[in-house]
Amino acid sequence: MSVEDFTADLKARIEALLDEHDPATTDAREFLGAQYDAGLAWVHLPVGFGGLDLPRSAQRLVNATLAAAGAPVGGTAKNFIGMGMAAPTIAAVGTDEQKRKFLRPLFTGEQIYCQLFSEPGAGSDLAGAATRAVRDGDDWIVNGQKVWTSMAHYATMAILVARTDPAVPKHAGLSYFLCDMTQPGVDVRPLRQITGEAEFNEVFLTDVRVPDANRLGPEGGGWRVATTTLNNERVAIGSIVDASREGGIIGKVTQAWRDEPGLRNAAMHDELMRLWVDAEVLRLTGERVRQQASAGQPGPEGAGLKVAFSTLAQAISGFELELHAESGLHYDDWTMRRTEVVDLVGRGPGYRYLRARGNSIEGGTSEILRNTISERILGLPGEHRVDKDVAWKDLDR
C-alpha cells in the first residue's frame, strides 16, 4: 500500500470514529475503547492490538486530528507510566495473549500503572534489586520493598522487577512481571518531598501473588525487558520539553524578562541568552529523538536527552530564582498533598526551583546515564565492575 493509500484509509477510519462517537457526547472511556478497537490507539501495532500495522509516524495524523476534535487522550492524565513505559514494553515483549489482556484497559484508563523498580538498596544499581519472587505452582510469591514509586496511590497495576534466582549474577537473576496493585499484601505509603508534596511513595509487598501468566519475557530475562522500559522512560522524561519555541520553563523566564523591566539586569542578559539557545537546542534534539523513536523502539539516545533536560531545567530554575530576587524565594504551599502530574509551568519560581532538584535523579541518575552514553553510544570502555560474574547471594549488601 502506498503512503497516499494508507493515509486516505487512515483519514477515513478517523472520520468514521468521530462520526460514530462524538467526543462531545461520548463517555471518555467508551471513546477510547472505540479508538482502540478501530486500530487508532497505536497504529504501528498489529490489527487486533490497537493498531493497523502502519508506520509509527502515522500516529501523528491520528493524534492531531483527534485533538482538534476535542477527543480524550489515551490512558488519561494519571496513566503516563502506563502509556509511556508499560504499554511499549508489553507491545515489544508480551505474548499475544498478554497484549490482548492488558493493552486495551491500559489505553482506556481502566487500569492505571506504576513502576516497581527502585529499592532502598537498588536505585541507580537496579540490577541489585532484592525483592524476591519465589515460584509456587502457577504463581509467584513476591516479598520486598520498592521506593520512589510515582502514582502508586492511584495504580491498579504495576510493572515489577523481582529477583527469581539469587544464585546467578545479579543481571541474570531478575524477572519482569505485571502485578495487581489492588490485592492484599500491597501497602502504599506516601513520601514527602522537598516541595512539601507527596508525589510518590514507598511500596511494601508481603506475600503478594503474581500469576506466571503475568511474567513478561523469559524467567531470568527481566533485565533485558527492564531495559526496554527504561529506554522508553528516558525518552518520555526528556520529551517533557514543550515542542513549541519558548515553551516550558524558559518561556516563563523570557516572559518575565520582557514583561517586568524592573527585573532586568545587564549582567544576566548573556546568561539568559545562553539558556535560551540551550533550550532551543534541546527542543530540536527532542524532536529528532521522537522522530527516531517513531521508527522503532527507543535506544540509549534517550539517556542523552534526559541528562540534557535535567541539567537545563535546574540551570533555568536557578536563573529564574535570581531574576526574581527576594520574591523568587516565596513559596506559599507546604501542604502535604497528593499530586497527579508534575506542573513545572503552572506553579511559581520557588516550586520550579525545588522540583527541578529531582530531575537529575528520577528516571536514572545523571551519573548512571552518563555511563550509558559513554558505553552504549560513544563506545568507550566499560566501567570496571567487580560484581559482574559473582552470584547475587554472595554480594555484600
Catalytically annotated residues? 233
Q: Which residues contact 10 (CB under 8 A, 6 or more apart)?
A: 43, 52, 54, 58, 61, 62
CB-CB neighbours of 244 under 10 Å? 9
Q: What is the DSSP letter of 196?
A: S
Element (H, E) at 30: helix 28-37
Size of the chain in residues: 397
Instruction: Note every long-range contact of 370-373, with CB atoms under 8 Å and residues 24 or more positions apart, other chains counting.
Output: 370/307, 372/300, 372/303, 373/300, 373/303, 373/304, 373/307
Q: Minimal CA–CA distance to 106: which of 39, 176, 158?
A: 158
| Phi, then psi, of 359 in degrees rounded to 5 | -60, -30
Going from the C-alpha of 5 to that of each of 48, 68, 351, the distances in angstroms are 21, 23, 49
- Residue 179 to residue 253: CA distance in whole angstroms: 42
Tell me which H or E stretch contains 210: strand 200-211
Calculate the alpha carbon distances from 147 to 120, 132, 224 in Å.
6, 15, 21
Contact partners, residue 66, CB within 8 Å, separation at least 6:
14, 17, 18, 23, 35, 40
Residue 336 burial (C-beta neighbours within 10 Å; 0-12, 13-18, 19+): exposed
Neighbours of 192 (CB within 10 A): 12
Smallest Cα–Cα separation from 162: which of 196, 193, 134, 121?
134
115, HSE (Cβ side, Cα atoms, 13 Å): 26
Kind of pairing between the strands at 157-163 and 113-116: parallel
